[in-house]
Amino acid sequence: MIKPTEIVTTAQPIPDDAPPFKPTDPEANNPTPTVVAKRPPVVDVEDPEDFIDDIKTIDEVPVFPGCEKAKYKDKKACFERKLRKFVGRKFNKSLAPQLGLASGKKRIFVEFIITKTGEITITNASAPHKKLEEEGMRVVKRLPKMIAGKKGGKAVNMKYMLPINFQVQ
């Protein structure tokens, strides 16, 4: 009999005319050992402190520099206005025509997280061309440090999907 801690290292060739393999019944009195692998128990180890909220589920939106003195109800509008203005100034508008894209309205999406410390972490980007994805990420990486959003009075990580719209002519 094989002990649970033994490792079997010998192998025997299977003849070509051998019958198909049939698993053995572990309850049967069979001399062939059956190994049953057990899965480790599932343990939930996620730290609630690391959950990521979005702008709709937090109590206080992140504060973009220059919006510190805005009234509570106006902070979201200030955040979005300052974000659009920043992107409009930093985005390389001459890039799209150089890429030979068909004319029409185009969109770049950059998803990022404003962390509990106000830093920016990019999580995803998509665009009709790789160079536009890179440009969208370049602009978002340059966002200034912010005051983090809050939920229940505590700073939280917040994800944000930034659409960058432009027209190719």
Dist. CA 143–CA 126, nearest whole Å = 18
Residues in the chain: 169
Dist. CA 67–CA 33, nearest whole Å = 70
* Residue-range domain boundaries for the chain: 48-168
Could you report the per-residue pLDDT of 118-147, keeping only the tens digit for each?
A: 999 999 999 999 999 999 999 999 999 999
CB contact at 8 A, 72 and 58: no
User: How confident is the model at residue 49, as a pLDDT?
Assistant: 57
Could you report the per-residue pLDDT of 87-98, keeping only the tens digit for each?
A: 999 999 888 888
Q: Who has greater pLDDT, 149 or 36?
A: 149
User: How confident is the model at residue 22, as a pLDDT?
Assistant: 54
Cβ count within 10 A of residue 93: 9
